[in-house]
Amino acid sequence: MNLRGLTMQELTEEMLALHQPKFRAKQLFQWIHQHRVVNFSDMLNVSKELRASIDAAHTLTQLTITERHLSQDGTEKLTMTLEDKSVIEAVIIPDKKRITLCVSSQAGCPLNCSFCKTGHLGFLRNLTVAEIVGQVYAAQKIVEKQERRITNIVYMGMGEPLLNTGNVIKSIQILTDDFGQNFSNRKITVSTAGIADQLHQLGSETGVNLAISLHAATNELRDKIMPINKQFPLEVLMKAIREYPAHKRKKTVLEYILLKGINDSAADAKKLAKITHQLDAKVNLIPFNSFEGTSFEASSEEVVLAFQKLLVDKHITAIIRTARGDESSAACGQLGVLSHKKS
Ligand code: SAH
């Protein structure tokens, strides 16, 4: 059992099963998640005997970074190989004040959104809790060398977080624990393609910010480009967003990739505005990142700006997300390029 994947509560139960007092769990949790030790022998205030007995049945396996690629804009893509040789990616995105880490929740993705590179690669498996938090620790180690820290985490890498809800929630509970990295849930955002029936659990158990990959403002178009819409159509998704526990504290972000001739007309902007008003949300407009084999094209800058203006004129907060890390295929929807080449 990899202890790195246990929440404080689970670790406490594990210690009790070993006839250890409760405070041992806190000590171990601190060593694993605050100091990020990789050997039981580094846990200085834990007796040798206990270390040896834990060591026999437990591991602290870390992720191995197999490739690092730094883009000119400072974005760094980390490729990591898991124990079963699956390959996942995480991306460090530095800004002036913030350093955001984009983490993966699955190896591959089963959703098959037509504009997304990861979807085209197919699905391997859900990531474990240890593999999700491990991405944060691997990245933290890198940025600490620059005397900085990861400030924000977005679940926007490979995979659909809400098809791995249990592990995603536990990973957030570990990352926000006072005895661990102590991230605020306000600095964590989970992005979903709209698995509506999981939103309540995510929100009530973590309180993290929500981003929805909307990309189309009618069921007709959304059915075509995001097959998951057939299972959770817009009206069902919108109801779940309205009821999302943290929605009132912080506006939900609707992500909208602008695809030339598909969803970028003035009529599309009007429909998107209506939905955004109904949800009291805000919009992130995302330039489409192209990849080999796709027939989609990015809308021109002129069209993107006109689309944004139509939303802003209706008093909607609509920002254009700048593409980051494009040249290393680290941008959104491009993750999985390296694993594809290797497989
Ligand atoms: N499955 C989750 C999280 C991963 S995708 C979700 O769908 O939200 C993270 C973001 O990248 C999503 O908004 C996704 O729609 C977007 N994305 C996917 N492919 C893209 C592409 N080719 N260009 C730009 N953004 C893309």
Same domain, 151 and 52: no
Strand pairing report for 87-94 and 99-102:
antiparallel
CATH number, domain of 14, equals 1.10.150.530
Judged against a pLDDT cut of 90, whether residue 291 lies above it is answered with: no
Same domain, 100 and 234: yes
Question: For residue 337, what pLDDT is reported?
Answer: 40
Average pLDDT, the chain: 91
Domain finish residue from 38, 57, 76:
57
Residue 277 Cα to ligand 1 middle (Å): 23
Same domain, 49 and 149: no
Same domain, 8 and 144: no
| Confidence label for 338 from pLDDT (cuts 50, 70 and 90) | very low
Select from 43, 60, 54 the least CA-distant residue to 17: 54
> Does residue 336 lie in a domain region?
no
The answer, yes or no, to whether any atom of ligand 1 lies below 6 A from the CB of 15, is no
Residue 194 Cα to ligand 1 middle (Å): 12
Question: For residue 329, what pLDDT is reported?
Answer: 58
Same domain, 129 and 207: yes
The answer, yes or no, to whether any atom of ligand 1 lies below 6 A from the CB of 79, is no
C-alpha span between 218 and 304 (Å, rounded)? 19
Expressed as residue numbers, the domain containing 290 is 64-328
- Ligand 1 atom nearest to CA at 193: 7
The answer, yes or no, to whether any atom of ligand 1 lies below 6 A from the CB of 116, is yes
298 to 90, 153, 192, 290, 302: CA distances (angstroms): 24, 27, 22, 7, 11
> Does residue 39 lie in a domain region?
yes
> Does residue 72 lie in a domain region?
yes
Q: Which of 89, 131, 160, 255 is catalytic?
A: 89
Ligand 1, atom 21: nearest CA belongs to which residue? Answer: 333
Judged against a pLDDT cut of 70, whether residue 300 lies above it is answered with: yes
> Does residue 335 lie in a domain region?
no
The answer, yes or no, to whether any atom of ligand 1 lies below 6 A from the CB of 191, is yes
Same domain, 25 and 69: no
> Does residue 340 lie in a domain region?
no
> Does residue 300 lie in a domain region?
yes
Q: Which residue has the higher pLDDT, 341 or 3?
A: 3
Same domain, 53 and 69: no
Which mutation among 257, 260, 324 tests ligand 1's pocket best, with the greatest number of atoms within 8 A of CB?
A: 257
Same domain, 320 and 185: yes
**Known catalytic residue at 109:** no
The answer, yes or no, to whether any atom of ligand 1 lies below 6 A from the CB of 213, is yes
Are the CB atoms for 317 and 282 separated by under 8 Å? yes
9 to 18, 37, 40, 217: CA distances (angstroms): 14, 20, 20, 41
- Residue 133 corresponds to which tokens in the numbers above? 């938090």
Question: For residue 334, what pLDDT is reported?
Answer: 56
Same domain, 38 and 71: no
Q: Give tens-digit pLDDT for 255-287.
A: 999 999 999 999 999 999 999 999 999 999 999
Question: For residue 238, what pLDDT is reported?
Answer: 98
Q: Give tens-digit pLDDT for 236-261.
A: 999 999 999 887 788 999 999 999 99
**Known catalytic residue at 89:** yes
Same domain, 49 and 76: no
Residue 328 has, within 13 A of its CA and on its CB side, a CA count of: 21
Same domain, 241 and 315: yes
- Ligand 1 atom nearest to CA at 155: 3
CATH number, domain of 131, equals 3.20.20.70
> Does residue 333 lie in a domain region?
no
Which mutation among 332, 334, 335, 337 tests ligand 1's pocket best, with the greatest number of atoms within 8 A of CB?
A: 332
Same domain, 42 and 181: no
The answer, yes or no, to whether any atom of ligand 1 lies below 6 A from the CB of 126, is no
The domain tally of the chain equals 2
* Cα 225 from chain centre: 21
Share of the chain above pLDDT 70, in %: 94
The answer, yes or no, to whether any atom of ligand 1 lies below 6 A from the CB of 332, is yes
Strand pairing report for 253-258 and 188-192:
unpaired
Strand pairing report for 188-192 and 209-213:
parallel
Question: How many CB atoms sit inside 10 A of residue 323's CB?
Answer: 18
Q: Give tens-digit pLDDT for 18-63.
A: 898 999 999 999 999 999 998 888 888 888 888 888 888 888 888 9
Judged against a pLDDT cut of 70, whether residue 339 lies above it is answered with: no
The answer, yes or no, to whether any atom of ligand 1 lies below 6 A from the CB of 288, is yes
> Does residue 186 lie in a domain region?
yes
Judged against a pLDDT cut of 90, whether residue 324 lies above it is answered with: no
